[in-house]
Amino acid sequence: MTVKNVMSVDLEDWFCVYNLSRFIPYADWDKCESRVEQNTLRLLGLFRERRVEATFFVLGWVADRFPDLVKEVERQGHEVATHGYSHRLLTFMQPEEFRVDLQRSLEALAKATSQEVRGFRAPSFSVTRKTLWAADILKESGIRYDSSVFPVRFHPEYGIADAELGPYQLTEGLTELPMGVAEVLGRRVPCCGGGYFRLYPYAVTRWLMRRCNEQRRPVMFYLHPWETDPEQPRVEGLSWSKRFRHYNNLTKTQGRIERLLDDFSFTSARKLLAERMIPSPDTVP
């Protein structure tokens, strides 16, 4: 039986990225050229052509400004989940601040979609050992699954090194769908999309994902709409590493996505939860 992976999109604009926050603070977002509509519609077209249902983790700030875009995501049959409101990392928030940010995002999505939002992804995967307090707030807010845990140890800003690689219960009533990681010679190697997808040669991503699927383990894959947009504005003053991480191989992303959709089977998080008999967002009390 073919293993179905999860295709997910962190629906945010190019200037919302944490790597750019020093140069484009949240207060200046409305001053920036928005490109999120055209870039998201491009992804929707690719998914429609290949009949892929995806999960869109929508930033509340974007939903407030582009509700018709969120409606279009829903109209085309995709799941709408939340990415928080302000793209502020949980690492920099107190619990009550997070509660307010999450609730604001849910209110924005409620205006733009008829779906009951059951999924959450933290900005920059900032559910870590230090921020596991967020689990109770997520449950209290009606969230039934999280997709924020990165089961690696090498990254300075995210990761839970010994987290399980497949879906599991983060806490009672809250399922975790961790980001896709393959084990190679005792090491955990990300194969989940984003900058890793642009950094690796496509053949490496394909090999790592096949390795996961051979172990009957789905890969949680993610993209940002801006990653298909090589014409986006360039920010001056970035360090070499941040410039590389943000702009590397933008011209190749769309072609790689097309190959990926041809090589693997994908579905949404809500369907994966139902099909794998993991407590689903609609059945957990």
Please report the pLDDT score of residue 242 as a whole number.
87
Mean pLDDT, the chain, rounded, equals: 93
Sequence-ordered list of residues with C-beta below 8 angstroms from that of 158, at least 6 positions apart, any chain: 124, 125, 126, 128, 150
The reported pLDDT for the residue numbered 254 is 97
pLDDT > 70? residue 282: no
Of 185, 184, 183, 204, which Cα lies nearest the Cα of 193? 204
Please name the amino acid found at residue 188.
R
Confidence band for 278, pLDDT divided at 50, 70 and 90: low
Checking if the pLDDT of 285 tops 70, the result is no
Q: Is the pLDDT of residue 129 over 60?
A: yes
pLDDT score for 201: 96
| pLDDT, mean of residues 72-90 | 98
pLDDT confidence of residue 161:
87
Which pairing describes strands 79-82 and 55-58: parallel, antiparallel, or unpaired?
A: parallel
Question: Which has more pLDDT, 162 or 118?
Answer: 118
Span 130-185, pLDDT tens digits: 999 999 999 999 999 999 999 997 776 767 888 999 999 999 999 999 999 999 99
Residue 127 banded pLDDT, cuts 50, 70, 90: very high
Q: What is the mean pLDDT of residues 243-255?
A: 94
**Buried b vs exposed e over 123-153: b needs ≥16 C-beta within 10 Å?**
bbbbbbeebeebbebbbebebbbbbbbbbbe
Question: What are the chain's domains?
Answer: 4-275 (3.20.20.370)
Q: 277 falls in which pLDDT band (50, 70, 90)?
A: low
Per-residue model confidence (pLDDT) at position 227: 97
% of the chain exceeding 70 in pLDDT: 95
Taking the C-alpha atoms of residue 191 and residue 212, their distance in angstroms, rounded to an integer, is 9
> What is the token pair recorded at 92?
């920099």
pTM score of the predicted model: 0.94
The reported pLDDT for the residue numbered 21 is: 93
Mean per-residue pLDDT, 25-36: 97
Residue 156: what pLDDT?
65
**CA dihedral sign, ordered 226, 246, 104, 28:** negative
Q: What pLDDT shows up at residue 245?
A: 87
**Per-residue pLDDT for 279 more than 70?**
no
